[in-house]
Structure 1
Amino acid sequence: MTAAASARQILTQLHEVMASRMHAQGKLDKVVEIVGENLDSEVCSIYLLREGMLELFATRGLNASAVHVTRMAIGEGLTGVIADQIETLNLAEAKAHPDFQYRPETGEEKYHSFAGVPIVYRERAVGVLCVQHVEPRRYEEIEIEALQTTAMVLSELIAHAELVDEEEALGLNSAKSGPQTVTGLPLVKGLASGIAVFHQPRVTITQVVADDTEAERQRVYRAFDKMREGIDSMTSQAEFGVGGEHEEVLQTYKMFAYDEGWSRRINEAIDSGLTAEAAIERVQQRTRMRMREIDDALLADRMHDLEDLSNRLLRIVSGQLGTAATQGLRRDTILIAKNLGPAELLEYDRRRLKGVILEEGSLTAHVVIVARAMGIPVLGRARGLRGLVREGDEVLIDADSGNAIIRPAQPMLDAFDARFAKSRERQAIYAELRDVEPFTRCGTRIQVMMNAGLRDDLSSLNLVGADGIGLFRTEFQFLVSATLPQREKQFRLYRDVLDAAGEKPVIFRTVDIGGDKAVPYLRSGEAENDENPAMGWRALRLALEREGLLKVQARALIEAAAGKALYVMFPMVSEPWEFEAAKSVFEAQLKYIKAQKKVLPESINYGAMLEVPALAEVLDLLIPKLSFLSVGTNDLTQFLFAADRANPKLAERYDWLSPAILRFLKRVALATDGAPVDLGICGEMGGRRLEALALLGIGFRRFSITPVSVGPIKELVRKVDLAEISGLMNGWLSQPPPDIRVALQEWAEGNGIEVD
């Protein structure tokens, strides 16, 4: 008899048992007999979760008196380990396993070999199916697959026969059902609370046993065709580029999608009598087992690719396509995902989406850039997240500290609410400053502007009382688009932004993509993947090489600013010639538009971002050509310290208040002193109260920061005497104290100035 035929025989008999009028206990008793006979197994047992304990419900081979008597906790003994880890065990010698426990009432002392699989319902282990033999041996793969298929059928029986409580089935009384703390990497700081919603809801398999095998096979064939069409479409997109990581990933997907071995195993599972969904899930379980045994990181990644592809196929065959965004959010939500793209994040209702937790994610990921602009806290690299959180669980995110609490107890909720309340009180104070101009105690007007990048960000401009938009990141439109945004689309966005800003200035930064903000439709055909993407082919370097890109953007900006003042800033300028080259592109487009007799901007003001330290050495050559200069502290700092800000091990290795960065910034301020050029600061440094205090002391008078930071910085400005703080900073930069941060904090607190 073939393996598929043997498995089908078991499944046919199980189907008959399930369809019978027999009571649930009788069905379980029959199941252990069927499995035991077909696998020629001396022992077959079923343990189910009841009142938080695994209880022996049925057995063939062990002492019958142990049924409903033998109980063990989750994680206790081999059975408990299977339920706890939701994994399969296959042991030639059970007693050699460190978690083996002997239960004398079962009479199992004579059995050596052991194999067990979890019975899973709604992603929770609600029981264990296991077999034992006197003879020491490892079970063959076909035997393990038969056990896993039986476990799938048992999960269906459990759901319909209510063999375990609904709370047990949902895992509400499991060992992991109480409060759980998840640690991760803070990607976007902030506090948030809501219910857990999975970005990609797991497909619920409602029918395991097939009524018509051929019909199930045809469903799988159609799903494979649809999946392959989608992947072929992605790989054949125009301008996708040649070589590089994106193509490698898609080629790997394509290889798996057309893998005959994978489709054959699914067909074999269908031959055994499973529905299309159950067959895909069966093969996926086998993949997960293999993944746990793989030490090679690269091979493990490839197996993860296959897991993702299996989920994709399962969603297609079941018709359960789309994400949670398509279903709509009904309550305040914490979104749970393995990873997200920026366009996927923007599909969600911003009124309901309060926070995001990612199993992966990095500081430079596109979704993080967009989430920061949206003001949504994000916690990344939360390993094992899906094993701890369930759909609908209450979740608290503290992305300031880098953790989240799943199913918090009341004292945790109270403490969190207190922090929220304090935050709201401060926000109320800041809101009162919305229409108050930020003058220092000595009467100097400080410009407090905000950063933006999305059309929706404009609502914050008047809400927080910012002086304008000191940095509009035009690349967001490029990052969330599947193709290069056309000129008309860019024009509409820029016009809407200028109209919404009214009389307030908007500084448009030309597109900063490439490097660590790679887009699939723009790649260098010659360059290899950047080993250091932040310092690679990106921003102005990319735009000058792909001059057509900059020409289109220049024309869109100039036409959008008809009759208004246009402020244009070039990113990643390293030398004056780059600024001149970029400016000449705009001047050529201005000349062209003028020849078309179209309305021109009232004025065009050109500026540069100082992010590359080399530019500081030639500021005397560049300043006469500038209207304004903005220091981008995020990139500048990582370049100065040679510390990749995307690397969590280096994230705390540099300090914005170290003498090195402050002396550098002071030198830049002195270089612009007396020149008709407006000096500003962009980036996170300017939005932190203690750092902003230092920046005021070394000569910065324009800040462009996140909208949520505008109120706190305006409030700070009104408490500062510039002569006093300047004298203090000059002294400290000349003769630095052991820790400038500590010294400045102590001074601020002594002068009644609250800091972060």
Structure 2
Amino acid sequence: MSAASSARQILTRLHEVMAGRHHAQHKLDRVVDIIADSLTSEVCSIYLLREGELELFATHGLNAEAVHVTRMAVGEGLTGTIAKNIETLNLAEAKAHPDFLYRPETGEEKFHSFAGVPIVYRERAVGVLCVQHVEPRRYEEVEIEALQTTAMVLSELIAHKELVDGEEAIDLDEIPTECEVIEGLTLVKGLAAGQAVFHQPRVEIDQVVAEDIEAERQRVYRAFDKMRDQIDAMGREPEFGKGGEHDEVLETYKMFAYDEGWSRRINEAIDSGLTAEAAIERVQQRTRMRMREIDDPLLADRMHDLEDLSNRLLRIVSGQLGTAATQGLRRDSILFARNLGPAELLEYDRRRLKGVVLEEGSLTAHVVIVARAMGIPVLGRVPRVRSRVSEGDEVLVDADKGAVTLRPSQTLLEAFDTRFARSRERAAAYAELRDVEPFTRDGTRITVMMNAGLRDDVSALQLTGADGIGLFRTEFQFLVSSTLPARERQMRLYRDVLDAADGKPVIFRTVDIGGDKAVPYLDNDTAEKDENPAMGWRALRLSLEREGLLKAQARALLEAATGRQLSVMFPMVAEPWEFDAAKAIFEEQVQFLRDRRKQMPESIEYGCMLEVPSLAEVLDILLPKLSFISIGTNDLTQFLFAADRANPKLAERYDWVSPSILRFLARIATQMVGSPVRIGVCGEMGGRRLEALALMGLGYTRFSITPAAVGPIKELVRKVYLPDLTAQMQRWMISPPPDMREALSDWAITNDIDID
């Protein structure tokens, strides 16, 4: 029997039961009989949420005495696990599962196979539908789909209170009203407050069972046509969204939008007797199941694209169009989403978007890279948070401590406001330093530049008074595109950045993609197999192998900088020949343009990043070829300590002011004495006050840091008497104290330097 015919048979029989005038328990008893009979299953049971626990409400095959007696907490046993994770289980041997829990009153000891699906109402499990069999076997896909279809019907009937009597009310008040603090994973640090907004407003499916299958099919056909027209129309616009750098992300959507397999699965769900909305939702549930089984981050990202498209189709069918971005934010907002793409984030009004909370998300996700550049705090891995918050709820995000507070009490609001007030006071003090040059007390000029990666970031040059852009990450344009950005588009971005910098220096780092910054348009079997992507096929390694990519970027940079200085920096150089090869590609493009009498940059200077420790051993060979060198402390630290900085367990384990890394940096600074090559530090280390103090003591006088850190570092510089700091750091490098951070902190306090 096909999934469609099996589900349709169940739906027909369920309709007959529900049309009767029997009491709720009789209906539930008939429902489990129908499902067991239709699937030829020896057991079928329904557990419903009551007073915070899952209670056995009806069963076919288990002991009848267990009904309304067997109860378990959400997360307890197989049934509780299904409800907690809102996932499907399909087990040939139930006892082999680590969450298996035996309840003797049910008489289920003779059954081996087990399959269960959640009964979901408003993205929250309000029950579980499960089947069991004596013979050990996994249930077939058609049987699982029939169960999922039935669970959707049960959800609708529960919502309409057709399956419960008044004295046995099921807990459907899924959104709590009291204050709640939920922990998550810090993806981008920071504090934020605002009202909850859903990225995609919840679509309520009021009717699951179709009255006219053909009418539902036509509704889906029309929705598909409208969705495809929307995507095609957006693709024809010169720029998609406010960010202006991500219209090519639509190419991925087009691929899925025209996928016949996807539309066929939705049609099959309609054949089973579901409405258009319910059919789309059922197929989407299957997609989520597959997503949980995918370990490959690139494939998982593509599945997220399909889910986003499913939501778009569902909104069109239901008439509930638009995301929070397209509707516009009317107040300071905290955005809630299951997941979010970088292009989607760029659509939001930055003046109103204060923070992001994701049910999923990872430290290496593209959206995190963009959010960090935008200065938006992001908290991830907050499971089912959207079912615990209502639109408009007050929300506090403390991404420094990895927590989100829903509906905070007045006391918590006041404490948070106090922290914000201190932050605003400091920001105001830093703003006053915008036009002040950062000299130490002994008269040493410290160059404080900023990092950027988006066109709009350049406005921070004027706001912070930074000396220039010491690192412009060109990969953002690549990360938000589903195809390789055309040379003309790259050129427009680089030219706009130089125009906005208004004569201040800009150092463009060539594209650093690959590894943990996977992009869909580079067919790379090697990258997918990298056990440690950070050390794999990425950055300059990728660019040199895909020479066409670097050639196009070189042309774009050269054409954008006509009549101006062009500063180019190559990432992740491990040996001098890599720098030579990259520079040769640029010089080849220089000659190409000269041969065609094209305008050229006024001057070109080349530099590289020192992130790979091996490069420190060959600096004497490389320095004569460089104009500048920048130490990338983020990657350098993880390579020195053999600690993946994307691993939460290791992220805070190795200290930036430990003697091992400071001695390494001191040795590099010593090698640079007397060299005309400029050396600087870019990365998070230079933007932290205590770490910056250590770097200045080692001889570093050039920093490129996040815009938010420019003011604090300029303020720090003006308090430092460099000869004393340098002498102390030299003593510590010879004989390090037991706790370098504590010793440096004590020294700062003694010298009236605030390092908080």
Query: TM class by shorter-chain length?
Result: 0.7 to 0.9
Greater mean alpha carbon deviation, residues 196-205 or residues 416-425: 196-205
Where does 1:147-158 land on structure 2 (aligned, <5 Å)? 152-153=152-153, 155-157=155-157
| Contact 1:52/1:73 (8 A) holds in 2 | no
**2: distance between equivalents of 1:547 and 1:111?**
64
Residue 240 of structure 1 corresponds to which residue in structure 2?
none
Q: Per-residue CA shift, 1:110-145, capped at 9, x if unaligned?
A: 999999986543123457889999x99999999998
Measure, in 2, the Cα distance between the counterparts of 1:148 and 1:541.
47
Indicate which of 11, 17, 31 corresponds to 1:35.
Answer: 31
1:316 lines up with 2:313 in the alignment: yes
Secondary structure at 2:489's aligned position in 1?
Answer: helix
Partners of 1:558 and 1:300 in 2: CA distance: 34
Q: Would you say the 8 A contact 1:93–1:112 is kept in 2? A: no
RMSD: 5.1
- Per-residue Cα deviation, 1:11-69 (whole angstroms, up to 9, x for no partner): 4466578789x8xxx774774475377569999999987887999999999xxxxx9x9
1:171 aligns with 2:174: yes
Residue 130 to residue 563, structure 1, CA distance change in 2 (3 Å): closer
Matched with 1:472 is 472
Instruction: Tell me the secondary structure at the aligned position of residue 604 of structure 1.
Output: strand
Q: Determine the structure 1 residue equivalent to 2:709.
A: 709
Does residue 213 (structure 1) correspond to residue 213 (structure 2)? The answer is yes
Q: Which runs of 5+ in 1 are unaligned?
A: 62-66, 103-107, 232-249
CA gap 1:287/1:667 in 2 versus in 1, 3 angstroms = closer
2: CA distance, partners of 1:167 / 1:276? 27
State whether residues 29 and 58 of structure 1, in contact with CA within 8 Å, keep that contact through their aligned partners in structure 2: yes
In the alignment, is residue 364 of structure 1 matched against residue 361 of structure 2?
A: no
CA contact (8 A) 1:28 1:58 kept: no
Asked whether the equivalents of residues 72 and 80 of structure 1 are also in contact (C-alpha less than 8 Å), the reply is: no
- State the match for 1:515 in structure 2: 515
Q: 2: CA distance between counterparts of 1:368 and 1:627?
A: 32
Deviates more, 1:516-525 or 1:636-645: 516-525
1:687, 1:713 within 8 Å by CA — same for their partners in 2?
Answer: yes
TM-score normalised by structure 2 residue count: 0.78
Instruction: Supply the distance in 2 between the matched residues of 1:187 and 1:625 (Cα, whole angstroms).
Output: 38
Q: 1:485 to 1:28 in 2, by over 3 A?
A: same
Equivalent residue letter for 2:183: V
Q: Aligned ranges for residues 514-553 of structure 1 at < 5 Å?
A: 514-523=514-523, 529-553=529-553
**Higher mean C-alpha deviation, range 393-402 or range 211-220:** 211-220
What one-letter code is carried by the residue in structure 1 that aligns with 2:180?
A: P
User: Quick one: which amino acid aligns to residue 319 of structure 1?
Assistant: I
Q: Which whole-Å deviations, capped at 9, do the CAs of 1:70-110 have from their partners, x for residues lacking one?
A: 9999759999998767678999999x9959698xxxxx999
Contact 1:8 1:271 in 2 (8 A): yes
Per the TM alignment, residue 407 of structure 1 is displaced from its structure 2 partner at its CA by 3.6
Cα deviation digits, residues 128-169 of structure 1 (max 9, x gap) = 889999x99999999998886565445445656799999964
1:371 CA displacement: 1.4
Deviation of 1:729 (Å)? 0.2
Rounded to whole Å, the distance in 1 between the matches of 2:174 and 2:591 is: 69
Distance 2:301 2:365 in 1: 19
Larger Rg: 1
Rounded Cα–Cα distance in structure 2 between residues aligned with 1:573 and 1:685: 20
Q: C-alpha deviations, 1:453-492, integer Å up to 9, x for none?
A: 1110011111011111111112222222222222322222
Q: Report if aligned partners of 1:360, 1:380 keep a CA contact under 8 Å in 2.
A: yes
Q: Give the equivalent residue in structure 2 for 1:450.
A: 450
Contact residue 562 and residue 601 of structure 1 kept, 8 A:
yes
CA distance in 2, matches of 1:316, 1:587: 49
Structure 2 partner of 1:721: 721
Residues 302-321 of structure 1 deviation map (CA, whole Å, 9 limit, x = unaligned): 99998985785575366357
2:217 equivalent to 1:181: no
Percent of aligned pairs with the same amino acid: 68
In structure 2, how many angstroms separate the alpha carbons of the residues matched to 1:384 and 1:120?
A: 12
In structure 2, do the counterparts of structure 1 residues 215 and 581 end up closer, same or farther at CA, with 3 Å as the change threshold?
same
Which residue identity does 2:316 align to in structure 1? G
Report deviation, 1:716: 0.4
**Shift, 1:403, TM fit:** 2.6
Amino acid at match of 1:440: T
1:64 matched to which residue of 2? none
Q: Aligned equivalents of 2:463 and 2:295: distance in 1?
A: 48
Q: State whether residues 181 and 403 of structure 2, in contact with CA within 8 Å, keep that contact through their aligned partners in structure 1.
A: no
Q: How much has 1:579 moved relative to structure 2?
A: 2.9
For the residues of structure 2 that align with 1:300 and 1:485, how far apart are their CA atoms? 22
Tell whether the 8 Å contact from 2:569 to 2:609 is kept in structure 1 after alignment.
Answer: yes
What CA distance in whole angstroms lies between the structure 2 residues aligned with 1:524 and 1:147? 39
1:577 partner SS: helix
Alignment of 1:23-102 (within 5 A): 28=24, 31-32=27-28, 35=31, 38=34
What is the rounded CA distance, in whole Å, between the counterparts of 1:89 and 1:686 in structure 2? Answer: 49
Amino acid aligned to 2:414? D
Whole-angstrom CA distance in 2 between matches of 1:299 and 1:626: 39
Q: Structure 1 stretch 538-547 or stretch 694-703: which is displaced more?
A: 538-547
Taking the aligned partners of 2:639 and 2:76, their CA distance within structure 1 comes to: 53
1:348 corresponding residue in structure 2? 348
Q: State the Cα distance separating 1:706 from its structure 2 match.
A: 0.2
Instruction: Determine helix, strand or coil for the equivalent of 2:681.
Output: strand
Cross-structure match for 2:246: none
Contact 1:697 1:725 in 2 (8 A): yes
Letter in 1 for 2:549: L
Which residues in structure 2 correspond to 1:310-459 (within 5 Å)? 312-313=309-310, 315-316=312-313, 319=316, 323-383=323-383, 385-386=385-386, 388-389=388-389, 391-459=391-459
By how many angstroms is 1:8 displaced?
4.7
Distance 1:288 1:455 in 2: 35
Q: 1:447 to 1:499 in 2, by over 3 A?
A: same
In structure 1, distance between residues paired with 2:462 and 2:433:
11
Mean Cα deviation higher: 208-217 or 369-378:
208-217
Q: Structure 2: which amino acid aligns with 1:532?
A: N
Query: What CA distance in whole angstroms lies between the structure 2 residues aligned with 1:525 and 1:289?
Result: 25
Long gaps (5+) in structure 2: 62-66, 232-251
Larger mean CA deviation between 513-522 and 696-705 belongs to 513-522
- 2:235 aligns to what? none
Listed as ranges, the matches of 1:140-151 within 5 Å are none
For residues 268 and 29 of structure 1, do their structure 2 counterparts lie closer, same or farther at Cα, with a shift above 3 Å needed? farther
Distance in 2 (CA, whole Å) between partners of 1:561 and 1:496 is: 10
Q: 1:310 to 1:223 in 2, by over 3 A?
A: farther
Aligned to 1:235: none
Q: Greater CA deviation, 641-650 or 403-412?
A: 403-412
Tell me: CA distance 1:138–1:470, structure 2 relative to 1, closer, same or farther (3 Å): closer
1:477 is matched by which residue type in structure 2? Answer: Q
Q: For 1:496-544, what per-residue CA distance to the aligned partner results, in whole angstroms no more than 9, with x for missing partners?
A: 1112111311112222223332333334588874443323333233333
Label 1:101 to 1:306 Cα distance change in 2 as closer, same or farther (>3 A).
Answer: farther
SS of residue paired to 2:187: strand
Amino acid at match of 1:638: Q
Q: Distance in 2 between matches of 1:548 and 1:269?
A: 45
Change beyond 3 A, Cα 1:282–1:668: closer
Offset at residue 750 of structure 1 (A): 2.1
Aligned-partner Cα distance in 2 for 1:535–1:93: 41
Instruction: For residue 657 of structure 1, report the CA deviation from its aligned partner.
Output: 0.9
CA contact 1:74–1:80 (8 Å) conserved in 2: yes
Q: Is the 8 A contact 1:182 1:406 kept in 2?
A: no
Give the letter aligned to residue 560 of structure 1.
A
Instruction: Say how many residue pairs are matched.
Output: 715
Residue of structure 2 equivalent to 1:245: none
Aligned partners of 2:407 and 2:672: how far apart in 1? Answer: 54
Match of 1:650, SS state, is helix
What whole-Å deviation, never above 9, does each CA across 1:276-299 have from its counterpart, x for those lacking one?
Answer: 43245457668889999xxx8869
- For 1:552 and 1:88, the matched residues in 2 are separated by 47
1:207 Cα deviation from its structure 2 partner: 1.7
Per the alignment, residue 627 of structure 2 pairs with 627
- Structure 1 residues 409 and 639, CA gap change in structure 2 (3 angstroms): same
- The one-letter code of the counterpart of 2:572 is M
Tell whether the 8 Å contact from 1:227 to 1:313 is kept in structure 2 after alignment: no
Q: Any conservation in 2 of the 1:361–1:381 contact (CA below 8 Å)? A: yes
CA distance in 1, matches of 2:682, 2:81: 52
